[in-house]
Structure 1
Amino acid sequence: MLIWVHDDALGPTQLVFERFPKAAAAYVFDDQVIEHRHYGLKRLHFIAGCLATLNEHHPVATYHGDTAQTLASLAKQSGTDIIATMATPCPKLGQVMGDLEVRHGLSLTVVEPTPLVQLESEPDLKRFSRYWRQAQKSAFKHADLPLFKRPQP
């Protein structure tokens, strides 16, 4: 098992580390992904900082190159055909996932993140305030923070 750490899963509390605590992890600085997502130096510095923090909790090896080829090579070296990663909405990273499965014949385990809120009904997305009224109690359910209420006249 190899964990693929990508730009949408840089935190040490990602569920993939909880589910596979003994698996090796890798992050690939991929020029095509960087170009596709229009990253500047500040974003790359942020990613490097996140990886440094992540290394304090779970070792992550960093590489530079084509993500799919690098991960396929690492999987082969470690004798595995399974790569675990967190879900992502990014189409470019989704394309990399497809390449791993189709071009390189690897099995992909995609871990879905825990949702921030659990809504009881379909959200009203026309205005954020309407959505927030629905989501507020669920968002702070486990927090020790008081809910903010409007002062009564």
Structure 2
Amino acid sequence: MHRLDKDTSGIVLMSHNRKAHAFVATQFEARTTQKSYVAEVWGRIEGEEGLIDLPLAIDPDNKPRHHVDFEQGKSAQTRWQVIERRVNTTRVRLFPLTGRTHQLRVHMKALGHVILGDEFYADGEALSAASRLLLHAEQLTFRRPDSSDVTFTSPVPF
């Protein structure tokens, strides 16, 4: 029904049949589903919440990486909210309003706070601070064919 980056943990939605797939797929396309992720990022983020509105495109010189591109990029928005500040890191909840490849990873890098353990976008201490990408698909809400909303959650493993 949707995709997660290979190293992202958490909820993956699969359909039981074609009718259900079509019904929910239109919600992903229309951006009416609600998704939240939790990430541990390098550094201490200032402020409590915000909106990142930066266009993204594949980086032609570093495929499959993506980057902010104001000329060729596609619109991408992510809301963020601080959960907890630690000594060298910040735990944030991320709400993608669009669904671009590597969106959360590139948007956090653009803020100057890469996700820990991110082999594509982190380096140095931020890369070595975790043995895996600390990005988790925590919650997904969508409408069922009977018009009721359903929410799935997955506990954060880090």
TM-score (normalizing by structure 2): 0.27
Higher helix share: 1
Higher strand share: 2
Larger Rg: 1
TM-score (normalizing by structure 1): 0.28
